[in-house]
Each structure stands twice: as C-alpha cells, then as structure tokens.
C-alpha cells in the first residue's frame, strides 16, 4: 500500500500513545480517519486535533473487548466512508507481577483488550476489506513481549504472544483464501506511551480491590524505568509502522537490539534448552 491520501484509516486506542501518533501520521498523509478509544475525553481531544488538520474524522467510543462494540465500529466506518483501507488494531493495556498472582478479573481485562480486541477487529473488518478487492492493509500491535517471555510480565506476554500467533495465522489464511489484504505485526520494545498507567481505563466491572502484591509493584517500577529509558518515542514508532505498510513488511521491529533476545529464545527452542533469561543481554531492563 503506497498511496494514502483520501484512503480510510481505522485506529483503535487512538486517544493516546501509539494510537494518537498513528492518527497524527495518518492526518499528515491526508487520510480519512475513524478513531476509536475507551476514554471519551482522550478520544475527543484526538479527534479535534486531527480535524484541525483538515481531514474528515469519525470518532467512536469503543471498548474493544466487547464484540458488539467492535462490530458497531465496523458498521459505522463502512456506512460513513464506504471502505476501510488501513486498520490498526492497536488498543492495549498492561499489568505485571508473578503469573500466579493475577486474579480472574486481571486475566479477563488484559486478554479481553490485547488479544480478543484484535480477534474481534479481524472478525468485523477482514471480510469486508477482502470484499473491496483493493490495496488494503492491517497492522496488529503486539510487542517484543510476543516473541520473548520476560519475568513478571506473564499475563502481558500471553496476550502479546497470542497477537503474534493470530497475525501469523491471518497472513497464512489470507494467502490460502487468495486475498490480497496485507498484514503486519508491530513489535515495539519499551516506549513512553502511557501503557504503564493502563489501570486508568480499566472497566469498573473488572476492577481489583485488593492491594498490589510486591511482585506487581516491582513490575510496575521496572516498567516505569524502562519506559522512561526508551530512546524512541511514539511518533517514531508510528513512522516505522507506516513504512512497514508501504513495503508490505510483516514483522515490524522498532528496536533492533532486542532481536538478540528473540534469537536466544529461538535457539533455546531448537536446541531444547531450558529458557534463558531474556534480559541477560540487557540487564538494565530486568525487573527489580
């Protein structure tokens, strides 16, 4: 996909972080925008900013963990613009700590947004995008945590490994179906996006009244430190994502130095070794 002007771009999690920068990048390219977010105030601000750039914007308050809301998003997108050319399944949340300490509500919240949000996006948009028969593309936001398994990030790791597997399978399924729809999976490392403050958007029905455990606090401190130390910002990640769409690149890595940890995990699997510490090459990112 090389021409973006007047094409239609749908972005979930568009009120902050990667989503906000993706919206800004799409607006600079003069795309028509469908912006979705669970936070109505952040969504309103993002939509107003992009409208000021002279582009047409449809804003929808959406909880991507709810399939009926994602289906409504697709309905309204196609009703308004008649097509969707670029879909960013981007909404995401995070929580850390020892994997055995997470409550059922924790699992339902994180998997509901990070994994099922992508699955519902594919379910609602892919058939219609295939039917268009034009040059279109989907980008699913995963993480390097979808390719390695850092300690005290088990729930997040599971969700992002799922997004990578789902994206890879989508790539193969589209090929088997003879569809020309492009796919990318975005795998950034630590970036200042606000994901370390995910609890602000947690639904009340899935709230957790118990205080955080020591491991959860340690994971939060480590995430704060890693995010602050990140050398790339969300705008740079958005630029990389659009470059991947232009070149039809599937695996999108924004921090090449992390590939050593990915290769180490693959070697562990092939050689049937016990899992290596994924932070052994970058100890400054290890939870403390």
The torsion angles phi and psi of 103, rounded to 5 degrees, stand at: -80, 165
Q: Choose the catalytic residue: 98, 120, 156, 251.
A: 156
Helix axis angle for 40-51 and 17-28, nearest 10°, is 20
Kindly report the backbone phi and psi dihedral angles of residue 156, in degrees, each rounded to the nearest multiple of 5, phi listed first.
Answer: -65, -45
C-beta of residue 11 within 8 angstroms of C-beta of residue 64:
no
* Sign of the torsion formed by the C-alpha atoms of 76, 79, 81 and 85: positive
Helices 104-114 & 154-176, crossing angle to 10 degrees?
30
Name the one residue in this structure whose structure tokens are 């700590």.
97
Active-site residue, 156 included: yes
- Tell me which residue has tokens 């430190």: 225
Query: How far is Cα 33 from Cα 12, in angstroms, rounded to an integer?
Result: 11
Active site residues: 156
């Amino acid at each position: 996909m090389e021409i973006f002007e007047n094409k239609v771009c749908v972005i979930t999690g568009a009120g902050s972080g990667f989503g906000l920068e993706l919206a800004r990048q799409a607006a600079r390219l003069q795309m028509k925008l469908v912006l979705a977010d669970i936070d109505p105030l952040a969504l309103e601000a993002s939509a107003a900013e992009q409208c000021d750039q002279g582009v047409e914007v449809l804003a929808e308050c959406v909880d991507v963990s709810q399939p009926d809301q994602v289906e409504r998003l697709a309905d309204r997108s196609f009703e308004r613009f008649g097509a969707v050319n670029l879909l960013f399944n981007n909404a995401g949340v995070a929580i850390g700590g020892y994997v055995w300490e997470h409550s059922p509500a924790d699992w339902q919240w994180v998997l509901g947004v990070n994994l099922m949000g992508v699955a519902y996006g594919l379910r609602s948009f892919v058939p219609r995008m295939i039917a268009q028969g034009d040059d279109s593309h989907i980008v699913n936001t995963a993480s390097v945590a979808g390719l390695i398994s850092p300690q005290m990030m088990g729930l997040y790791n599971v969700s992002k490994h799922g997004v990578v597997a789902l994206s890879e399978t989508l790539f193969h399924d589209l090929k088997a179906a003879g569809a020309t729809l492009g796919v990318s999976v975005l795998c950034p490392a630590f970036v200042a996006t606000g994901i370390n403050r995910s609890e602000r958007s947690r639904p009340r029905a899935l709230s957790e009244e118990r205080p955080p455990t020591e491991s959860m606090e340690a994971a939060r401190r480590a995430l704060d430190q890693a995010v602050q130390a990140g050398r790339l910002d969300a705008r740079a990640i958005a630029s990389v994502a659009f470059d991947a769409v232009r070149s039809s690149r599937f695996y999108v890595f924004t921090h090449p130095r992390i590939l050593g940890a990915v290769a180490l995990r693959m070697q562990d699997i092939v050689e049937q070794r016990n899992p290596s510490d994924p932070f052994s090459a970058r100890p400054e990112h290890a939870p403390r």
